[in-house]
């Protein structure tokens, strides 16, 4: 592997470390709330992108 791409490789030890840091920062009680917020944000983003695509298709069809 190239030396520039090596830091970008994420393996199991790095993921475990990230999870531990998140648990320490936010605690076990806040994580479900954070995940709900993240899920609703992703849902809104998908709906908005779907609406934009629909509007773009409508504009193309009108021409």
Separation of alpha carbons 51 and 12, rounded Å: 37
What's the pLDDT at 36? 92
What's the pLDDT at 27? 84
What's the pLDDT at 2? 62
pLDDT, averaged in runs of 10, over the chain (63 residues): 67 88 86 90 91 71 62
**Which of 8, 30, 10, 28 shows the shortest CA–CA distance to 18?**
10
Put simply, whether the predicted model's pTM sits higher than 0.75 gets the answer: no
According to DSSP, residue 23 is labeled H
What's the pLDDT at 6? 63
What's the pLDDT at 45? 93
């Amino acid at each position: 592997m190239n030396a520039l791409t090596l830091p970008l490789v994420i393996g199991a030890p790095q993921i475990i470390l990230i999870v531990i840091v998140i648990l320490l920062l936010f605690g076990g009680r806040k994580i479900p709330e954070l995940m709900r917020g993240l899920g609703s944000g992703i849902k809104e983003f998908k709906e908005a992108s779907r609406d934009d695509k629909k509007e773009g298709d409508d504009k193309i069809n009108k021409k």
